[in-house]
Amino acid sequence: MKAIIGKKVGMSQIFDENGRVIPVTVIEAGPCVVTQKKTTEKDGYASVQLGYEDVAEKKLSKPEMGHLNKAGVSPKKHLREFNLDNGAELNIGDVVKADTFQAGDFVDVTGISKGHGYQGVIKRWGAQRTPTSHGGGPVHRHAGSMGANSDPSKIFKGKIGAGHMGVDQVTVQNLSVVKVDPELNMLVVCGAIPGPKGSLVTVKTTVKTHRVKNIAANVSSNPQKASGRNPQKASARKK
């Protein structure tokens, strides 16, 4: 797995070689510094901790500064841990840049979604309104009665209701990397990612499996199809 920490810059659009418009999101990816390296012998598992974005020393606690001073790294605002494929090759103090990814890679982007304040059940969960005909009363967008009978005499956990909307951790999977610029620390991915402009995001290799289709076969295993009964005849007809 490959991973990096970055910030969402904003959305834009670019054109490919065929002139098609591609909606993209620009991410300021890295540079990230290796602040800690965990091994199976010492910690029970192998991972690499990356630090991102310089910050004033006074804004960190003494334990945080002690952790970074031990690694010989300048104060970092964000620390994240990843299980990288090349973790054994990295050492404390090494820098991970945007060129860890290449155009054509597929990634999962994790961020905190935009906050929408305190909202009711209709906007937050898509609940239905009460009838607006005669006698409806001023409760058309209210949640209504919940658990009022003697059984169950309570509201089960997970029941939809009004509350704080947004500010949730969201992961968008299987986005393709369109462009990489290590000099500008720029990572351009196709599609939208969660969070407002300037919010923190983590970019990792996607967990989705991409299978390469055997285009050369073009032969069906279904005996009801002509290519399944006589593959040679079907291939000759396609030529």
35: domain CATH number is: 2.40.30.10
pLDDT of residue 117: 95
Residue among 116, 123, 166 nearest 142 (CA): 123
Question: Do 72 and 12 share a structural domain?
Answer: yes
60 and 40 share one domain:
yes
Give the range among 98-107, 145-154, 195-204 with minimum mean pLDDT: 145-154
pLDDT of residue 228: 53
- Adjacency order of strands within the sheet including 95-96: 76-82, 47-54, 32-38, 95-96
- Find tokens 């970074």 and name the residue: 68
Same structural domain, 50 and 86? yes
Is position 210 within any domain?
no
> How many folded domains does the chain comprise?
3
Mean model confidence pLDDT for the chain: 84
Write down the pLDDT at residue 194: 92
Residue 43 within a domain:
yes
Residues 182 and 78 both lie in one domain: yes
DSSP 58: G
Regarding whether 175 and 161 lie in a shared domain, the answer is: no
pLDDT at 222: 60
Domain range enclosing 53: 3-115+168-205
Question: Do 96 and 200 lie in a common domain?
Answer: yes
Same domain, 84 and 193: yes
pLDDT above 60: residue 238: no
Nearest Cα neighbor of 113 from 208, 200, 52, 3 is 200
Residues 139 and 239 in one domain: no
Alpha helix positions (H), the chain: 40-43, 62-71, 121-125, 226-229, 231-238
In this predicted structure, the answer to whether residue 57 has a pLDDT above a threshold of 90 is no
For 31-41, what is each residue's pLDDT tens digit?
889 888 888 88
Are 79 and 173 part of one and the same domain? yes
* 183, 108: one domain: yes
Residue 80 burial (CB count, 10 A): 18
CA distance 15 to 22: 6
Please give the Cα distance from 182 to 29 (Å, whole number). Answer: 9
Task: Let me know: does 99 contact 181? Beta carbons within 8 Å.
Answer: no
Same domain, 50 and 131: no
Is 137 found in the same domain as 96?
Answer: no
